[in-house]
Each structure stands twice: as C-alpha cells, then as structure tokens.
Amino acid sequence: MKIYENKEDLLKRLDERSNVDNSEVLAIVKNIIKDIKEKGDDALISYTNKFDSPLITLDNIKVSEKEIEDGYNTISDELRETFKIAKERIYNFHMHQKEETWTYEKNGEILGQKVTPLENVGVYVPGGKAAYPSTVFMDVVPAQVAGVKNIIMTTPCNKEGKVSDVVLAAAYILGIKDIFKCGGTQAIAAMALGTKTIKKVDKIVGPGNIFVALAKKELFGKVSIDSVAGPSEILVIADENANPKFVAADLLSQAEHDEIASSILLTNSKVLAENVQEQIKTFTEQLDRKEIINKSLDNYGGIIITDTIDTAIDISNEIAPEHLELAVKDPFNYVDKIKNAGAMFLGNYSAESLGDYMAGPNHVLPTIHTAKFFSPLSVYDFIKRTSIIYFDKDAFNKIGKNVATFAHSEGLTAHALAAEVRMDS
C-alpha cells in the first residue's frame, strides 16, 4: 500500500473510478429494458434462462414457500440466532427514524404534513457467485418500519435454479414471501415496468453490478430508486494511539470487495503508517481474496501522512467517504468537524464490518463523493410527505390580497383571480 507525497495524486486516482466509459453496457441495458417493456414475461424468462438458469420457467420463477422455509431450516442454529440479533438491532435503530403526521392550528389556519408509506417496494439482492443476506435485512427492515404494505424481492439463482439458503433464511425471518429468481437488468426492468408475473413497484432498492446500476439509473422517473451505488470505500483517520492491526484489517475489509474499491489511511504518525503497511502485507497472505485485494490497494488504495488530524479531516471532507473511521484519541472531539461521510465509526473497536452487519444503522451508504449531498438508506426513503393546508374565510381574507399581489408580480392573472373571487365573496 503506497504512501503518497501529496493528496492530489491520490485524489486523481480516485476520480478515475467515476470516469469509466459504460456506453457499450448501457446499450445492452437499454435493449433489455425495451424487450421487457414490449414482451413482458416472455422476455423476462428468456433473459433469465440466458444469464441465470435454463431451468427457470413461469411456473417456477417465484420461490415457493417451501423453498423459503427449507432455506431457513438449512442454515446453522448459530447463523439463525445471529440473523435474529441483526434483525432486532437494525429494527430498533430504524424505529428512531419513524415519522408521524403532524399539524398546527392558529387563527383559522391548519397547516401540517401527512406522512404516508409507499405502497409497493422492490428489493434487489445480488446473487449468483456470492450471497448477501445483509442486503435483505438492510433494505427490507426500514421499509417495514415505514409501513410499506407490499415488498417483493428479486435475486439471481444458480444454474440449478436455486436461490442461496442464507438469502432465503433472511427473507423467512423478515416474512418476505414474494421472491423471484431473476437478476440483472431484466429484474430491475420487470419491477420498474411490471409484467403479468412481477407487479410494478413504486421504488427499487438494493445494490448490484454495472448492469443493475445502469438499469436503475435509466428507469429512474418511471420508478424511484435508492441510489446508483458505486464501488465500496473506506477512509481511516488515525493517530499514534491507533492499533495498526485494527487499521490494516479494516482497510482490507473494503479492498476485498472488488478491484476498484478504495481503502485510504490518513495519519499524522509515520510510525503508524509504516506499521500498517507491514501488517497489510502479513494479513493479505492469509486471506481468500488476496488477488482482488492487491489490485484494489495498488489501484485505489493509499496512505497520506498529514501534519495534524485536522488536516486529515479536511482531506476526508473533500473525499466524502462511504465509511469513515476515526481511530484517534477522543474521537468525539472531532465529530462536529466531519461534514461529509456516509457513516462514522468512532474509536478503535467500532470496526467497519460491525456496521455492515450488526450495529443497527443502515449499511446502504453514499459512495464516490456523493456523501456531500446524499444520506444512508433509511425509513425516510420509504415514505411520502404531503402538505396539509386549510384556511377558513377570515384567515383567507387576512392574506388574500397578498396572494393576488404576488400572483400579479409573476404575470399569472388566473392565480390572482383565484384569490380575488374569494375576497369578493
């Protein structure tokens, strides 16, 4: 893991991740969307047979209740208990985000906001080569807390037409019964546009590969989406008090995601930087995905030695990382200085993987600088806010002339008329 002399060299490399030409993939995505729109289930089955399993038909594309229950019964008792603890912790955190309808009344006016959950939500869970039950919990629980009535799930199956047991077990624990064996662009398009088999949803959440990301982006407007997720990233700010083994392990936890994941250390301690470098070498040799890790660290990893922790925070705010760790003495002293981060992990024992699975806050976070203006997935993403406006006659007459004056300033005489006729009455 290279030590950079200045931040510009590292920031330039990070920016390269978002400058990829996806025009060829986008052309394929648009064609699949067009086919789903025109041919519905026929196209859905055709693409699922091509990309996932030749065994999938309209009769078995929906996961049966027995398959879901079997998935739950297949996993170990220890994993079942772990999943239940995760569910409870994620649920308890998101309950604090729950909003209620509110109004206030004054002098013949009633103003307020009505909170309504979305009716139909689609959750995309990546699958095929890997399984991500954490996606099920993080995407479904806030929707359930918000009060969403209908939640469907799509996920790729393997060549034998089977969905991962751990994904099905997570769905079983959460009571999700409408699960479909399809992935990629075709699954996103089916949920966004609707087919006879898969009902159209109001919003799609969940990560995926470049085909999934571009499909969500292309269909945004016909359906709401959570975000267009980029590659995973972590930034650790550490001082001389940090444990180099902890820091190295957390940097590696993101590097193993894929070759364009980013792992960055900012520290005011040269000794710590060198110790982390050595520890990364030692740990990497023990890990299953060391080829991916090495490419990730070579391409988009790096260490910058700063004069102070405050300087490191300034650089971090510029990068706006998905995951930010403050492995420093008295980390709470720096919290107010953090402006841009998806999630903050404070102290030596708040491991990033804790946030991925068990802590409670959502792990669906903004990436590639978007923490400057986006927030983690939450209950707020599954509700609509509708304004409430009521005026009685006296209240309107107090302000009606101002309404008409404002409307005339914009040249909208019908708007003014709507106020004036009420005052005349």
Q: Which residues are catalytic?
A: 322-323
Of residues 317, 324, 68, the one with CA closest to residue 180: 68
**Residue corresponding to tokens 């079983």:** 172
How many other CB atoms sit within 10 Å of the CB of residue 108?
14
Report how far residue 156's alpha carbon sits from residue 158's, in angstroms, rounded to the nearest whole number: 7
Indicate the burial class of 273 (C-beta count within 10 angstroms; 0-12, 13-18, 19 or more).
buried
Residues in Cβ contact with 215 at an 8 Å cutoff, skipping those fewer than 6 apart: 29, 32, 33, 184, 185, 188, 189, 192
User: Residue 226 carries which DSSP code?
Assistant: S
Of residues 51, 347, 321, 83, the one with CA closest to residue 208: 51
Residues in Cβ contact with 157 at an 8 Å cutoff, skipping those fewer than 6 apart: 52, 53, 56, 127, 128, 163, 181, 182, 183
Report how far residue 188's alpha carbon sits from residue 181's, in angstroms, rounded to the nearest whole number: 12
SS3 103: strand
133-146 vs 165-174: helix crossing angle, rounded to 10: 20
The DSSP code sequence of 33-88 is HHHHHHHTHHHHHHHHHHHT-TT--TTTSBPPHHHHHHHHHHS-HHHHHHHHHHHH
Question: Sign (positive/negative) of CA torsion 408, 414, 415, 421?
Answer: positive
The DSSP H or E segment spanning 387 is: strand 383-391
The bridge status of strand 301-305 relative to strand 120-124 is unpaired
**Residue corresponding to tokens 């402006």:** 339
